[in-house]
């Protein structure tokens, strides 16, 4: 299985359910699907690799049963290789692991792909991009975190924009079909700069499910901002998400 790779236009908006109302989770996801969202991200946190604890296998399995949405599962957990088979079995379509969380990123990515699931690798803000270099040809998704992971609603770190640009350049130079995904503080204020930097997938939680407007309108705002590649300066470091 390979990830659906967005082309230069439009950038794909991937809502993160971390910011959704879990009392009406399926309804919120379906509302996003009604405006053309095909993928949502499930942020799995263990309270060890990151300070927070979030959702796990039952949520992935429930969404797989109740919807047709593609499930992009972001494993923010220590030793993610211990959980790959379980999340694949629960219905994950994409599994992303952190290079900081495993000693054997190449082996972890290979196990994901062997299960017929698209493979992603993620980097925290303080992790050098070079740690992805050797495994990049094996990936479907390369994820640059633009906040320190562990909590939703954090301020976007604009200092990560050059990192996104370098990753895009690597992917293009190698002729790879790897989605350049960004997660953290994505909003209508940061989406345009991220698109100009070369991101093809933007993960947004608060800016979709916590924007104070209908979900469809929130998604439309992000799409419009990401499509407006030629307008506006880069946001200042610390610009907050919506």
Q: Which residues are tagged catalytic?
A: 43, 183
Beta-bridged to residue 15, according to DSSP, are 204
* CA separation for the pair 168, 200 (Å, rounded): 9
The residue among 23, 20, 80, 25 whose CA lies nearest residue 50 is 80
Helix (H) or strand (E) holding 61: helix 57-66
Number of CB atoms found within 10 A of residue 173's CB: 8
Residue 62 φ then ψ, to 5°: -65, -45
* Encoded tokens for 106: 């190449």
């Amino acid at each position: 299985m390979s990830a659906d790779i967005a082309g230069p236009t439009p950038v794909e908006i991937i809502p993160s359910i971390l910011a959704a109302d879990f009392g009406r989770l399926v309804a919120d996801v379906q509302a996003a699907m009604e405006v053309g969202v095909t993928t949502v991200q499930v942020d799995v946190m263990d309270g060890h690799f990151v300070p927070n604890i979030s959702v796990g296998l039952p949520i992935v399995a429930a969404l797989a049963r109740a919807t047709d949405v593609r499930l992009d599962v972001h494993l923010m957990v220590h030793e993610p290789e211990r959980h790959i088979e379980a999340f694949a079995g629960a219905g994950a379509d994409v599994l992303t692991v952190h290079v900081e969380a495993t000693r054997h990123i190449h082996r972890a990515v290979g196990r994901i792909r062997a299960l017929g699931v698209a493979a992603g690798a993620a980097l925290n803000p303080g992790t050098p991009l070079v740690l992805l270099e050797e495994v990049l040809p094996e990936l479907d998704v390369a994820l640059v975190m633009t906040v320190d992971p562990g909590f939703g609603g954090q301020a976007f770190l604009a200092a990560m924009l050059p990192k996104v640009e370098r990753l895009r350049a690597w992917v293009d130079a190698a002729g790879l079909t790897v989605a350049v995904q960004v997660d953290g503080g994505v909003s209508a204020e940061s989406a345009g700069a991220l698109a100009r930097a070369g991101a093809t997938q933007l993960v947004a939680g608060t800016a979709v499910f916590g924007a104070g407007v209908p979900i469809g309108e929130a998604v439309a705002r992000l799409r419009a901002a990401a499509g407006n590649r030629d307008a506006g300066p880069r946001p200042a470091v610390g610009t907050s998400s919506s």
